[in-house]
Amino acid sequence: MTHHSAPPPAIGCRNTPILKQRGQHEVFCGLTGIIWLHRKMQDAFFLVVGSRTCAHLLQSAAGVMIFAEPRFGTVILEETDLAGLADAQEELAREVDRLLARRTDIRQLFLVGSCPSEVIKLDLARAAEKLSARHAPSVRVMYYSGSGIETTFTEGEDACLAAMVPELPETDKRQLLMVGALPDVVEDQALSLLEKLGVEDVAVLPARYADSGVSVGPNTVFALTQPFLGGTHAALERRGARHIPAPFPFGEEGTTAWLQAVAREFGVDTARFDAVTAAPRARSIQAMSKAKQVLSGKKVFFFPDSQLEIPLARFLVRECGMEAVEVGAPFIHKALVGPDLDLLPEGPVIAEGQDVDKQLDRCRAVQPDLTVCGLGLANPLEAEGLSTKWAIELVFTPVHFYEQAGDLAGLFSRPLRRKSLLQLDAAE
C-alpha cells in the first residue's frame, strides 16, 4: 500500500522508560462524558446518582436547555441518604419509574455513579439489573461509574461503552465495529470513506439509536477512534472480537494509517486505497499548512488529562513540525497507543499519572511555547506568560479524520498566534 507520509523514526517512544507519577492530579471527573454522549445517543437518558456538585457540573458544562427536555439529570442524594437513614435504592427505583412513565422516548437508561454514591456504596449495578428486568423490553437500564475518585473525564465514555458491550446481541458475521463517540458529521465522513474502500458491514458503537442492531462476536474486528477506550477494548475482547491496532485518526498521517490498518484487514488493494484517499489527503495537508507555519519548531508540553495526549503529540511532531518535550497521559495502554508511540520520535519525557507540583516545576524549567492542560492549570500558567490549550476542547471539538485536520492544527496554532499579536500590540 502506498504511503506518502514521512517514514517512521529510527527509534520511536514505545520502549521509552515511562516516568510514573502517583501524586495529586488535576482533572475533571467521568461525568463530563455525558455532555457528548447524550448528544450522540438520541434515545438514551443519563441519570446521575450524585450530589448538588454533580448537578452543577453537568448543568454548567452542558448549558441549560430551555427549548427541549434534556436527556440527562441528577437524582440528588440528600443527607438522610448519605447517613443511611433512607432507603436510597427504593427512592431511586421510584424516580426511575416516574421518569420512564413521563419520557416514553427513552430506550436506554444509564444510572451513572458518582463520588457520593460510591462512598456510601450504593449498589447501582444491582439497581440497574432490577430496573432493567422491570422495564424490559422497551427500556434497557445499565450502570457505569463517572465518579471523580481516581478517574479522569474521558473514562466516563469508556465506562459507558464498556457497560453496553455485555448487552450486545451475539453474531457470527464478519464485520467491522468502529468504536468511539464521534460527532455525527465526522462519523458519516468515516463511514463514507470505509464504504468507498469497499468495507461492508460496518457498525458503530455507540449507535445513535438503541435499535440500530449493533452486535458482536468472534468474527467482529474493531477499530477504536478514541485512545481512552481501554475498558471497552477489554470488554470487546471478552466477547471474542479482535482489535485492529492502528495510530488514531488525527491529521493526514493518522487518518491514513488508521484506514490502512482497516484496509489491510479487509484486503483492499492499493490502487483503490489510493484512489479513495488521494483527494481528502491532499485537502487535509493543504488545510493544515497555515497552522503548520506557526507551530513548526515550537516546543509543546502535555499535562495528563484527556488521554488523547500521545496520538496528539504524534500529530504535532510529525505533521506540524513541533518538538514534544513532555507527553503526560493519565494512563498509557500500549495495546491502544503503541502504534502512535512507534511513530513519535524518541526525545520527549513520557509520563503516566500525575504529581502536579513536580510536573509544574518541569514545565516551568523548559518554558514550552505551548502547554496542553486542564482548565485548572491553564489560567495560572497563562498568568506566568505560558501559552496554553485546554485539553477538554480537544474532546468537544470535531477533530478526527481528514476533513478536520486543519481545524485540529488550528486549535494548537491559535494560542500562539494570539500571543504574538498581543506582543505586537504591546510593542507599539
- How many other C-beta atoms are found inside a 10 Å radius of the C-beta of residue 353? 18
Query: Smaller CB distance to ligand SF4: residue 115 or 332?
Result: 115
CA distance 308 to 395: 9
Residue span binding ligand SF4 (CB under 6 A) among the ranges 35-43, 49-57, 183-191, 208-216 = 49-57
Q: At what angle do helices 88-102 and 124-135 cross, to 10 degrees?
A: 40
Adjacent-strand bridge partners of 172: none
57 near ligand SF4, rule: CB under 6 A = yes
392 near ligand SF4, rule: CB under 6 A = no
- What 3-state DSSP class applies to 268? coil
410-412-414-415 Cα dihedral, nearest 10 degrees = 170
Structure-block grid coordinates of residue 325 = 518535550
Choosing from 51, 132, 220, 306, the residue that interacts with ligand SF4 (CB under 6 A) is 51
33 near ligand SF4, rule: CB under 6 A = no
Query: Smaller CB distance to ligand SF4: residue 377 or 409?
Result: 377
Q: Amino acid identity of 271?
A: A
128 near ligand SF4, rule: CB under 6 A = no
- Report in angstroms how near the CB of residue 194 gets to ligand SF4 at its nearest: 36
- Report in angstroms how near the CB of residue 148 gets to ligand SF4 at its nearest: 3
Structure-block grid coordinates of residue 357 = 507540583
Choosing from 13, 27, 31, 203, the residue that interacts with ligand SF4 (CB under 6 A) is 31
- Report in angstroms how near the CB of residue 360 gets to ligand SF4 at its nearest: 22
* Stretch 273-312 residues interacting with ligand SF4 (CB under 6 A): none
Kindly write out the interface string for residues 132-161 of this chain, putting x where it contacts ligand SF4 by CB under 6 A and - elsewhere.
--------------xxx-------------
Phi-psi region of 231 (alpha: psi -120 to 50; beta: other; left: phi over 0): alpha
Query: Smaller CB distance to ligand SF4: residue 153 or 315?
Result: 153
Query: Smaller CB distance to ligand SF4: residue 114 or 307?
Result: 114
Cβ-based neighbours of 399, under 8 Å, separated by 6 or more: 250, 407, 408, 411
The DSSP output letter for 77 is P
- Report in angstroms how near the CB of residue 218 gets to ligand SF4 at its nearest: 37
Q: Among candidates 216, 117, 123, which has minimal Cα distance to 164?
A: 216
How far is C-alpha 75 from the geometric centre of its chain's CA atoms? Answer: 26
59 near ligand SF4, rule: CB under 6 A = no
Residue nearest to ligand SF4 (CB): 148
Q: Give whole-number Cα distances, 330 to 70, 114, 176, 187, 391, in Å.
A: 31, 19, 28, 26, 12
114 near ligand SF4, rule: CB under 6 A = yes
29 near ligand SF4, rule: CB under 6 A = yes
Query: Smaller CB distance to ligand SF4: residue 147 or 255?
Result: 147
CA distance 41 to 225: 17
What does the binding site for ligand SF4 look like in residue numbers (CB under 6 A)? Answer: 29, 31, 50-51, 53-54, 57, 114-115, 146-148
